C-alpha cells in the first residue's frame, strides 16, 4: 500500500506530525525503531498536561489516539534507507521490506555522545542530565555541577543557580572569557578548573565528583550538554542540507519544516539546535501541516 506521508520516528515530534495528517484524512504511516533519545529519563517535564509522565507512556497514549483514525498506521521497525522514486519516496526497512509515500517526514532524533568519564552513562537521565528546564526542578537545592563539553557550556552553568548552588567544571579545556567569568561570578557560580575524572555514589545516584588531583567535591546532580549526531542516515541519503549547530549537526528546514529536498520534511531534535520535548511537539505539528499543505496540488 502506498501512503500519502511516511513519518520516520514515532516519538514526540513524529506523533505530532502524524496526527495532523490523520485528522486531515491522509494515509499516514509512522515507522518507529523504539529507541528515542529520552528513553533514559523517568519523566518528561514542562509538557502542558503531561508534566512528570514517563516519556514512553506519553508516546503509547499518542499512538493509541493516532490509530483511532482510520487512515493512520504504525509499524515497529527500523527504516534503514530512503530514496526518491518516480511518484514520491521509498523507505526500506531493516527486514528488507519497503513502503512508499508521496511525502516524508523525518523525525528520527539524535544520539548523545557523552564525555569519556566512567560512570556518566550509568547515571544518564537520573543524576547526570542535560536540560535545566526538563530536569532542574527535580534536583533543586542540591549541589549542582555543570560539566563543560564545548565552548558554549558556560551558558548552561549561568542558568543553574536558579535551581541550586552551582560549580562549573571547565575540564581545564573550556575556559570562559573575562566577561563570561564576571557574569558567572555575579550569578554565584564557582569555577573549578581541575578536570572531573570520576563520579562517586551508588548509580544511578550521585553524591560527589572525583577530580584529577584526588579531591572529591559534593555534587548531587551533574548537568552536561553532550555532543549530538543525527540518529538516522536517511536525511544524508536523500541529500538534505545540514547545518552545524553548537552541539552537533541538524537538518536545515524552513518555517514549515521543509528540508532542502522537495517533499521531505524534518522535525524534532534532528531538525533544530534548541532541543526540548515541547519544542519537538511544536515542530512536528508544523511538519505535519506543511506536508499536508504540499499535497494540495
Q: What is the CATH number of the domain that holds 68?
A: 3.50.50.60
Q: Tell me, what's the pLDDT at 275?
A: 87
Q: Are residues 39 and 177 in the same domain?
A: no
Inter-residue contact 124 to 40 (CB < 8 Å): yes
Number of domains observed in the structure of the chain: 2
Share the mean pLDDT of the chain: 96
pLDDT tens digits, 241-295: 999 999 999 999 999 999 999 999 999 999 999 888 999 999 999 999 999 999 9
Question: By the 8 A CB rule, do 226 and 219 touch?
Answer: no
Cα–Cα distance, 284 to 274 (Å, whole number): 14
195, 224, 253 - which closes a domain: 224
Tell me: do 271 and 232 sit in the same domain.
yes
Is there a single domain that holds both residue 210 and residue 133?
yes
Answer with the one of 168, 198, 224 that is the final residue of a domain: 224
**Strand (E) or helix (H) holding 106:** strand 98-106
Q: Do 158 and 58 fall within a single domain?
A: no
Boundaries of domain holding 196: 115-224
- pTM, whole model, 2 decimals? 0.95
Please choose, from the candidates 199, 11, 30, 233, the residue with its C-alpha nearest in 3D space to the C-alpha of residue 116.
199
With cut-offs at 50, 70 and 90, classify the pLDDT of residue 1.
low
Q: Is 223 helix (H, G, I), strand (E, B) or coil?
A: strand
For 49, the 3-state DSSP assignment is: coil
pLDDT in tens, 6-56: 999 999 999 999 999 999 999 999 999 999 998 988 899 999 999 999 999
Same structural domain for residues 123 and 190? Answer: yes
Of 185, 141, 190, 135, whose CA–CA distance to 164 is shortest?
141
**What is the mean predicted confidence (pLDDT) over 215-224?**
98
Does the pLDDT value for residue 185 go beyond 70?
yes
First to last CA, the chain: 21
Q: For 144-152, what is the mean pLDDT?
A: 95
Residues 6+ apart with CB under 8 A from 61: none
pLDDT for position 87? 85
**Do 20 and 85 sit in the same domain of this protein?**
yes
Amino acid at each position: 500500500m502506498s501512503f500519502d506521508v511516511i513519518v520516520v520516528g514515532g516519538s514526540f515530534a513524529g506523533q505530532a506530525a502524524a496526527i495532523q495528517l490523520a485528522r486531515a484524512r491522509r494515509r499516514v504511516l509512522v515507522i518507529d525503531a523504539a529507541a528515542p533519545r529520552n528513553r533514559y529519563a523517568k519523566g518528561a517535564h514542562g509538557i502542558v498536561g503531561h508534566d512528570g509522565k514517563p516519556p514512553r507512556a506519553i508516546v503509547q497514549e499518542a499512538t493509541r489516539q493516532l490509530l483511532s483514525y482510520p487512515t493512520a498506521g504504525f509499524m515497529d521497525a527500523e527504516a534503514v534507507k530512503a530514496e526518491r522514486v518516480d511518484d514520491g519516496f521509498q523507505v526500506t526497512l531493516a527486514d528488507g521490506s519497503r513502503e512508499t509515500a508521496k511525502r516524508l517526514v523525518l523525525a528520527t532524533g539524535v544520539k548523545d555522545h557523552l564525555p569519556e568519564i566512567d560512570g556518566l552513562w550509568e547515571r544518564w537521565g537520573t543524576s547526570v542530565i542535560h536540560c535545566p528546564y526538563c530536569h532542574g526542578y527535580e534536583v533543586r537545592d542540591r549541589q549542582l555541577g555543570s560539566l563543560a563539553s564545548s565552548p558554549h557550556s558556560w551558558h548552561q552553568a549561568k542558568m543553574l543557580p536558579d535551581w541550586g548552588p552551582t560549580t562549573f567544571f571547565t575540564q581545564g579545556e573550556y575556559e570562559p572569557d573575562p566577561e563570561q567569568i564576571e557574569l558567572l561570578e555575579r550569578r554565584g557560580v564557582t569555577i573549578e578548573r581541575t578536570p572531573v575524572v570520576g563520579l562517586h555514589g551508588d548509580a544511578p545516584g550521585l553524591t560527589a565528583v572525583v577530580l584529577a588531583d584526588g579531591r572529591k567535591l559534593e555534587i548531587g546532580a551533574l548537568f552536561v550538554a553532550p555532543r549530538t549526531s543525527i540518529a538516522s542516515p536517511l536525511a544524508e541519503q536523500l541529500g538534505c542540507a545540514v547545518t552545524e549547530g553548537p552541539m552537533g549537526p541538524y537538518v536545515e528546514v524552513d518555517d514549515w519544516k521543509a528540508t532542502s529536498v522537495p517533499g521531505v520534511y524534518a522535525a524534532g531534535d534532528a531538525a533544530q539546535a534548541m532541543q526540548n520535548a515541547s519544542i519537538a511537539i511544536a515542530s512536528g505539528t508544523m511538519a505535519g501541516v506543511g506536508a499536508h499543505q504540499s499535497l494540495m496540488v
